[in-house]
Structure 1
């Protein structure tokens, strides 16, 4: 099980609409995400910046599986009206994850 953080940015003026869309994400999308090995996904917003925390068995494999899932394809197409895109990180998992710096629970004394 891995945890990773992602950063994306909203198109100006779409902040409230984006939050409305996430008030209740399509249940069939959550089913597809679970089937792909994603056990949890949280999103925080600061202005237009979105910070995601994802818990997955294997994020790269999940992304590869979801890429071919028709429900995820519809969701991504639908959300493209709100999201500019994900920040790129060549060192990150699937080119998207933020660089991990520190986790309190992982620190040994």
Structure 2
């Protein structure tokens, strides 16, 4: 099991909207993520900088490689692009983070 962490950027004024959209995450997106071995996925917000910190467990990180090809993932990115920094393909600008400490 691998732990994966990344950061993303939320636009100012969309804190509650971001939370609302994730509270109502689409069942088909949730199913896809679980199907790909993702568990314990959490996203945290630094309210001062509007940086989003995401962390999740992955049974096998290689199972995540084809996520961008799934229609539901593309639709989610389109749905979210108005409230956060995105790339040209509408995926969120996501910066992988390097783990430097973990206490079990």
Counterpart pick for 1:49 among 48, 51, 57: 51
Structure 1 residue runs of 4+, over 2 Å off? 58-61, 85-88
* Alpha-carbon distance change, 15 to 42 in structure 1, aligned in 2, over 3 angstroms: same
Question: After superposition, where does 1:7-46 map in structure 2 within 5 Å?
Answer: 7-46=7-46
Give the secondary-structure state (helix, strand or coil) at the position aligned to 1:73. helix
The 8 Å contact of residues 4 and 53 in structure 1, kept in 2 or not, is answered as yes
Q: For 2:83 and 2:56, how far apart are their aligned partners in 1?
A: 20
- In structure 1, what is the equivalent of residue 79 of structure 2? 78
Structure possessing the higher radius of gyration over alpha carbons: 1
Structure 2 gap ranges (5+): 86-91
Question: After superposition, where does 1:58-73 map in structure 2 within 5 Å?
Answer: 58-62=60-64, 64-73=65-74
Deviations 1:72-91 (A, max 9, x none): 11011111111114353xxx
| TM-score normalized by the length of structure 2 | 0.82
Structure 1 gap ranges (5+): 89-96
- In structure 1, what is the equivalent of residue 89 of structure 2? none
| TM-score normalized by the length of structure 1 | 0.79
How many residues matched? 96
The 8 Å contact of residues 10 and 83 in structure 1, kept in 2 or not, is answered as yes
The 8 Å contact of residues 6 and 86 in structure 1, kept in 2 or not, is answered as no
The Cα RMSD (Å) is 1.5
Alpha-carbon shift at residue 60 of structure 1 (Å): 4.5
